[in-house]
Structure 1
């Protein structure tokens, strides 16, 4: 009784179907009385139920099948009354009595002939509609429910819920290939696979896409271009005649959204889905959706009228109170209960997942002006949730992924209105700080191109994008190229903003830093000396930027060989930092770190280690155990303990540090690679030259993969590998390795770079040791060890 939907074309063998059969067919043994199939509209719940019902009836597993279109209580009562008329002789016109007789007929009773029945309640919209209308438990009866709801009221003893998802990618691809092939349309598997990804493997969307392709005679590439066109909506991608009486994809969720908006807190589900619709479908942190900007948007756009424009009778007379973070979380639960999204509050990183076509439908429903405002709201929400220090790596990755999606779905100018939205800068900086230097440079290269297009070449934000691009270009290993880019930027900033503008001074700061990284430590020191003078004049002697320039001036004077001057300058600067910014300011702690290093370089490793041990205590108290600065201090402390004569203790401390680095950051993060570099070095100094060579061989491989073969840190690892290879007894192999490295350093860093000159000296020294002619003396070997101690992981200069 009731009309079972026609079989779906090319029904796929799905895991949910197997679970359905296993549960209902084995109910006599397990005590199962029913099952609830729940999921987003369009995932194929009805087709799964219909296929099971037809199969059960055809194979004689049931005697009575009652199919109910359960969209509301009246429809359920009408279907029950009709069944009561057929099975019990009830008067269908007395609907409630006839329905009651039908339900009574389903009950088990002594002496009553065995009747195997199946009642399918299809598309239950509200659990309350089934109050006192549930079929009774019966050893030979089953109740199968399909619904978009996930309310606890639908689940009962012996009636669990199966969440029905989309097709797998393989299922979706196979479906398109089969359906298009049946229609004689081109069905190349690779193109079908790409279209399946575009449609998020949603069965309803796949069915309608196939119908559109057949009706329009278009190719898959053209259809994908139509989907990607932001000026078109999903309605434009639907066929004129929908197959199997389907609703259009764009309309499939309208009822669910309306009902979600009626759940408490009233009127928040729709605007919440709008915000989520701009972000990553694969995972949005709840902290973003409950942020201040998100709450302001919910308050601004909260539904006060029904979809037809009539007054909303659910709204209180005095209007709604401002929504709280708890209200926002409850709005997510409301949308979750209607299967419009998946809300997993125990996962703080990917709390919310939304199908990409639900997102697209939500965005399509908004006018262009509202979408632009929404894009900026989503960007503000991401920025509000973004921590300054990224100690939670998965959370930072999720924020970057959400920013990338927002950038792709926002209209061109939405995030460039009155300037580049700061979340785009933050996402690029996050990439770089996570060690993805090349990706950060690529990000800012694309950002600069868009800024030029929307804002012009001389806009301050366009120049800021150039500044970031050059910075990460340098971090990626191209210090000379970065210096060249900064020189051009300084010239343009002087022309556009003036010589004394803070941004011009910042560009000079970065130019000086890159000159030093490119090998010209003396030139960097001279540039910082001039910058300190100008910052004092323009910003004052106690300005943080002036203090940062003094810090870098000391560093590069030390790198240029003026160790005593560097230490004296930093000792003076510490006192200024204490007066101006206080003992616990991160900049004060950073200057203390540098001062300890240069005192150690002056020949007092014990004093350096003692100063760093004290600093470590303060770092732990101020910034915490997992902060990168705290880990860096531990790194330095291990080094100077080794320099003071305890190589084994240094190796042990670095082993402990490496475990913490791996917990906080990845195996190939630059900071982790630096710790591995130092650990290998002190392992060798402690007497295990072969172990050091083996560790450096692994490090070279990882640096090549993570940073590229020409990055200075990769070259430094090769340098140390050659050295410990020689110390392990293979002097000839070391000489060959150094000779090859000399060639690469000349190509990458230039013949006059200090590292190139030192590597050339190494090649000659190890060649002499291999032949026994002119073996290097103790002084030469001491020089090599000093180089190995400082070069591989020296702290980067502070940048504006």
Structure 2
């Protein structure tokens, strides 16, 4: 026998092979003398390059004389492994090849270390292990003279332990992907802009198999990256349309990216709970690739979909047929109902076969799926099947979406999944009876999170889509318009909000009539934004008239009736009757407690407004005390990170400051700012408001110069985030001017108030209370500035 000796043929090295982290891990085992790790399992999803990494390692070990025997065999079946072992036994030991089972056992016995004998160094590579059970009784022995290397899409527990180490193989890093694309295209004389290559790598999810096949397609089709990326985003085209045909696959590849996972899905569908892996993968395919909350996939709508589309033991999954013909097959009428436990087991199966990543300890992003696995899965569905899938996913998301978003991370994850769903199948969410409720919950969630720019964009899109699918006079299209008005108003464009409300109200009166609930809500919104635009008396009058209509149509205890009573009380105070506002809000609070209970958000809002108007009537200390108790309840009901909880904490600090409790206000604001920065981010309106109030504290504490500096910083950020005409931006300018005067620059303060007055007249109108306040402040600081030699301030 001549040594060294090789059994089997190594796959040829791929063009532009990339050195990756897994290569280093394999080399470490060799540098340790081959005894540190006796068996390594390269595990990862199909297409990440496991076989290439194993072949590269085997080739390096062979070239450097590291082994006397190299065995390479495909391990997709038990028979192929036995055949390779039998061939090795025949060539090394002269065993009878006609009895492969006996010959394989002889080979394994030869690999066993034997004291007192000369042992050959060996490396056995088992490529593409399809099922750990295939190696039952066939694992090469642990030996100081040999090593085993396995590649597999599986990551079962049986592949670890007993001297075996799992080596995860992931996607290319962005740099690796860009380097590969650059080199692969350059080898064909092609040069593409680096930005386009980076974008293409992102489009393909940095999957090595997809990148190599994309290069082949680009070359064969003589297409540039920009055109290819357009093809990838074409919803009318499937992933197969953007890949080479089987005859044009590079690097001796046997399958296209689109078909890379078909066999794994079939195998998963045969593992108990039988027939659930495929429909569950379909559900994950239409949601966010970077994180699906666990409750979504075990919700009643999701389980209903799994039951309806479960494939039985004798169904298509057992035939070995893959692709569109067997995708989305409905279950027989007597199919066993899927349970939450079944869904969790199916998730683990898909995880074990590397079709997705399931991390239960991260419930908000428990499931991650590669974007190309998603696309290949959806491509296998007919339009009708995809529409049914979209409705099931939408129902599941709406089912688990809490009415009160206590957990901001969960709300963000649900919004991301809704965005992914609408990207894949938005048209399916519009039916004859209207838009799916999930679409409205998404928009309201953006409003609740104060993501005003995103909310405006979203509601405008929903209005256009509703017009297209349902018609301009459909109630859902009109509701979208109402919400656009609310977004505009919250973003500071109160005049735009009023105009939008007037327009949609006229449509509702024409289409729905004067007493339709949506028409009455449109009247409510118009009255509110008239008040915010400066007409507090007009708002009070409008709410008084609206309340009469609501009492007649809905009665005294309806939610919309109580909301109107709430706003009537508020605008009564804004119109100058603070005492009347306190009395009305006290009555409203009793109604809310009786109708909604103490923990309802309407009740909490009534308590907040009552505290504010009690403070305005001279009870600042009482307002601070009321907010202290309210904050405790908001934390319990809404959670510590909810925007309303944080706003309550801001108001508490403000009333503490007004009541003279400066230390208490500063301590509360310091703690609050840290939470706002962590939860909401530096540009959130509530974060900016907290900084605003902290600047005020600095001035009240005797540091007007520091207050001026802080207000200048807040103003710059508010102009950048909210715009120069937003009410809170104008309020910051007012406080900056005030503390500039307190710091000794009366001339600068007068100049600031002069410019502010001009802008408030333009934005809010001449009769708005804030405009009148600016007039009074200008007069005050002009009087103080008389006789000063200080030049006017040039700050904005």
- C-alpha deviation, 1:661, in angstroms: 4.4
When residues 641 and 494 of structure 1 are mapped into structure 2, their CA distance, relative to the original with a 3 A threshold, is same
Contact 2:448 2:643 in 1 (8 A): no
Name the counterpart of 1:198.
203
Structure 2: stretches of 5+ with no match in the other structure: 1-6, 322-329, 791-796
Name the counterpart of 2:489.
474
When residues 651 and 106 of structure 1 are mapped into structure 2, their CA distance, relative to the original with a 3 A threshold, is same
> In structure 1, which of residues 73, 79, 84 is the aligned counterpart of residue 78 of structure 2?
73
Name the counterpart of 1:15.
21
1:764-788 deviation per Cα after TM superposition (whole angstroms, max 9, x unaligned): 432432334799xxxxxxxxxxxxx
Name the counterpart of 1:605.
620
Contact 1:376 1:415 in 2 (8 A): no
Contact 2:124 2:148 in 1 (8 A): yes
- 1:415-454 to 2 correspondences below 5 Å: 415-416=430-431, 418-454=433-469
- 1:222-371 to 2 correspondences below 5 Å: 222-240=227-245, 241=247, 242-243=249-250, 244-304=252-312, 305-307=314-316, 321-371=336-386
Given the alignment of the two structures, is residue 562 of structure 1 paired with residue 577 of structure 2, yes or no?
Answer: yes
- C-alpha deviation, 1:524, in angstroms: 1.2
When residues 629 and 409 of structure 1 are mapped into structure 2, their CA distance, relative to the original with a 3 A threshold, is closer
- How far, CA to CA, are the matches of 1:717 and 1:631 in structure 2? 20
Name the counterpart of 2:728.
713
Name the counterpart of 2:4.
none
- C-alpha deviation, 1:112, in angstroms: 2.6
- How far, CA to CA, are the matches of 2:224 and 2:643 in structure 1? 52
- How far, CA to CA, are the matches of 1:212 and 1:131 in structure 2? 41
Contact 1:24 1:142 in 2 (8 A): no
- 1:172-183 to 2 correspondences below 5 Å: 172-183=177-188
When residues 515 and 176 of structure 1 are mapped into structure 2, their CA distance, relative to the original with a 3 A threshold, is same
- 1:749-768 to 2 correspondences below 5 Å: 749-768=764-783
- How far, CA to CA, are the matches of 1:207 and 1:417 in structure 2? 45
- C-alpha deviation, 1:696, in angstroms: 2.3
- C-alpha deviation, 1:61, in angstroms: 1.6
Contact 1:24 1:33 in 2 (8 A): no
- How far, CA to CA, are the matches of 2:281 and 2:238 in structure 1? 17
Name the counterpart of 2:63.
58
Structure 1: stretches of 5+ with no match in the other structure: 776-800
- How far, CA to CA, are the matches of 1:327 and 1:417 in structure 2? 34
- C-alpha deviation, 1:669, in angstroms: 2.8
- How far, CA to CA, are the matches of 2:725 and 2:743 in structure 1? 26
1:83-114 deviation per Cα after TM superposition (whole angstroms, max 9, x unaligned): 11111111111111211121122222233324
- C-alpha deviation, 1:341, in angstroms: 0.4
> In structure 1, which of residues 738, 741, 754 is the aligned counterpart of residue 753 of structure 2?
738
When residues 23 and 511 of structure 1 are mapped into structure 2, their CA distance, relative to the original with a 3 A threshold, is farther
Contact 1:24 1:35 in 2 (8 A): no
- C-alpha deviation, 1:534, in angstroms: 1.3
Given the alignment of the two structures, is residue 513 of structure 1 paired with residue 528 of structure 2, yes or no?
Answer: yes
- C-alpha deviation, 1:119, in angstroms: 0.7
- C-alpha deviation, 1:507, in angstroms: 0.6
Contact 2:430 2:470 in 1 (8 A): no
1:633-668 deviation per Cα after TM superposition (whole angstroms, max 9, x unaligned): 444444334333333333334334444545554343
Contact 1:393 1:665 in 2 (8 A): no
Name the counterpart of 2:793.
none
Name the counterpart of 1:397.
412
> In structure 2, which of residues 188, 192, 195 is the aligned counterpart of residue 187 of structure 1?
192
- C-alpha deviation, 1:567, in angstroms: 2.0
- Count of aligned residue pairs for this structure pair: 772
> In structure 2, which of residues 81, 98, 106 is the aligned counterpart of residue 101 of structure 1?
106
- C-alpha deviation, 1:414, in angstroms: 3.9
Contact 1:473 1:481 in 2 (8 A): yes
1:473-520 deviation per Cα after TM superposition (whole angstroms, max 9, x unaligned): 111111110110000000000000001111011011111111111111
- C-alpha deviation, 1:611, in angstroms: 4.2
- How far, CA to CA, are the matches of 1:239 and 1:594 in structure 2? 65
When residues 245 and 575 of structure 1 are mapped into structure 2, their CA distance, relative to the original with a 3 A threshold, is closer
Name the counterpart of 2:54.
49
- How far, CA to CA, are the matches of 1:176 and 1:612 in structure 2? 60
When residues 773 and 230 of structure 1 are mapped into structure 2, their CA distance, relative to the original with a 3 A threshold, is closer
Given the alignment of the two structures, is residue 215 of structure 1 paired with residue 220 of structure 2, yes or no?
Answer: yes
Contact 1:212 1:237 in 2 (8 A): yes
- C-alpha deviation, 1:65, in angstroms: 0.9
- C-alpha deviation, 1:309, in angstroms: 7.2
Is the partner of 2:113 in helix, strand or coil? coil
Contact 2:239 2:258 in 1 (8 A): yes
- How far, CA to CA, are the matches of 1:713 and 1:721 in structure 2? 12
- How far, CA to CA, are the matches of 2:760 and 2:53 in structure 1? 65
218-227 vs 421-430, which moves further: 218-227
1:249-283 deviation per Cα after TM superposition (whole angstroms, max 9, x unaligned): 12111111111112222211111100000011111
Name the counterpart of 1:91.
96
Name the counterpart of 1:168.
173
- How far, CA to CA, are the matches of 2:230 and 2:488 in structure 1? 34
> In structure 1, which of residues 521, 537, 549 is the aligned counterpart of residue 564 of structure 2?
549
- How far, CA to CA, are the matches of 1:596 and 1:734 in structure 2? 32
- C-alpha deviation, 1:624, in angstroms: 5.4
- C-alpha deviation, 1:632, in angstroms: 4.2
Is the partner of 1:245 in helix, strand or coil? coil
- How far, CA to CA, are the matches of 1:650 and 1:465 in structure 2? 40
When residues 207 and 623 of structure 1 are mapped into structure 2, their CA distance, relative to the original with a 3 A threshold, is closer
- How far, CA to CA, are the matches of 2:317 and 2:348 in structure 1? 25
- C-alpha deviation, 1:287, in angstroms: 1.4
- 1:377-416 to 2 correspondences below 5 Å: 377-410=392-425, 412-416=427-431
When residues 309 and 615 of structure 1 are mapped into structure 2, their CA distance, relative to the original with a 3 A threshold, is closer
Name the counterpart of 1:778.
none
When residues 773 and 55 of structure 1 are mapped into structure 2, their CA distance, relative to the original with a 3 A threshold, is closer
When residues 217 and 575 of structure 1 are mapped into structure 2, their CA distance, relative to the original with a 3 A threshold, is closer
Is the partner of 1:37 in helix, strand or coil? strand
1:277-308 deviation per Cα after TM superposition (whole angstroms, max 9, x unaligned): 00111111111111111111111111114437
- C-alpha deviation, 1:752, in angstroms: 4.5
Name the counterpart of 1:676.
691
- 1:477-516 to 2 correspondences below 5 Å: 477-516=492-531
611-620 vs 557-566, which moves further: 611-620
- How far, CA to CA, are the matches of 2:400 and 2:769 in structure 1? 44
- How far, CA to CA, are the matches of 2:635 and 2:408 in structure 1? 20
675-684 vs 54-63, which moves further: 675-684
- How far, CA to CA, are the matches of 1:238 and 1:672 in structure 2? 48
- How far, CA to CA, are the matches of 1:138 and 1:624 in structure 2? 57
When residues 232 and 286 of structure 1 are mapped into structure 2, their CA distance, relative to the original with a 3 A threshold, is same
